Amino acid sequence: MNISRNAMEVATALVTALVGALICYGAMENGIGWTESGPKPGYFPFGIGCLIVAGSVATLVQVGWKSMAARPAGEADSLVPFIDGQGLRTLAAFFLPIAVMTAISFWLGLYIGMALYIFYAMRFAAGFRIHNALLTAIIVVAVNFVVFEKLFMVPLLKGPILEYFGIY
């Protein structure tokens, strides 16, 4: 699956325009007008939302203009790829485990999420042997535990398993 740069430009501008519209909508709930004591809380965000929509539309026009201009000249510009299928897969292989780790951490705490993620990444992405990957995961968790719980005294989310073992 190849995504061209032009398609991505248009998609991004549409998304930002949508976000702008959403901001305008959200701001209207706070009131965008004036009272005796000055602007209502939604006044400033509403203006921001409008400017986002305007900027996005202008970007769309600019992209359209450029691809129209490029078309007679051999369509070179409109076919510049943004990302190809291979790149997309590599990207997902890196990003999805992080998202999975976050979801697991919600449930089992950050230390366990972190350990599983590091083990997975070292074993499968970096190609470590199982015991080396395991060792790396343990070291990372230990270092983080000392740094955050002991040095900076910022407790990270523990989750039910660590709490069962009396680690708060």
Partner 1 sequence: MGNFGQLMDGFAIALTTQHVMIMVLGVLLGLVVGVLPGLGAPNGVSLLLPLTFTMDPISAIILLTSMYWGALFGGSTTSILFNIPGEPSSVATTFDGHPMAKQGEAVRALTLAFTSAGIGALVGVLVITLLSSWVANFALRFGSPEYFAVYFMAFASFIGMAGSSPFKTLVSIMLGFAVATVGMDTISGEGRLTFGLGELSNGISFLIVVIGLFGIGELLLTIDEGYKFEGVKAKLKLSTIFRTLAEMPRYWVTIVRSALIGCWMGITPGGPTAASFMSYALGRRFSRRGKYFGKGEPEGIVAPETADHSAGSCALLPMLALGVPGSATAAVMMGGLMIWGLNPGPMLFSTRPDFVWGLIASMYAGNLIAVVLVLATVPLFAFILRAPFTVVGPLIAIICVIGAYTVANHMFDIWLALIFGIVGYAFKKLDYPLAPFVLAVVLGDKAEDAFRQSMLSSGGSLNIFFETPLVATMMAIGFLLLLLPFIGRLFGALLGKGNAAEARDGRPA
Q: Which residues bind partner 1 (CB under 8 A)?
A: 5, 8-9, 12, 16, 19-20, 22-23, 26-27, 30, 34, 37-45, 48-49, 51-52, 54-56, 58-59, 62, 82-83, 87, 90-91, 94-95, 98-99, 101-102, 105-106, 110, 114, 117-118, 121-122, 125-127, 140, 144, 148, 152-157
C-beta of 166: minimal distance to partner 1 in Å? 21
| Nearer of residues 75 and 86 to partner 1, judged by Cβ | 86
Angle between helices 43-70 and 5-30 in degrees, nearest 10: 160
Pick 106 or 160: Cβ nearer partner 1:
106
Query: Please, what is the minimum distance in Å from the beta carbon of residue 134 to partner 1?
Result: 15
12 Cβ partners below 8 Å, 6+ apart? none
* Minimum CB–partner distance for residue 154 and partner 1 (Å): 5
In angstroms and rounded to an integer, the radius of gyration of the C-alpha atoms of the chain is: 25
Spatial distance between the Cα atoms of 18 and 49, rounded to a whole number of angstroms: 10
Which residues touch 116 (CB under 8 Å, ≥6 apart)?
Answer: 101, 104, 137
* Shortest separation between residue 27's beta carbon and partner 1, angstroms: 7
Burial class (CB in 10 A: 0-12, 13-18, 19+), 99: exposed
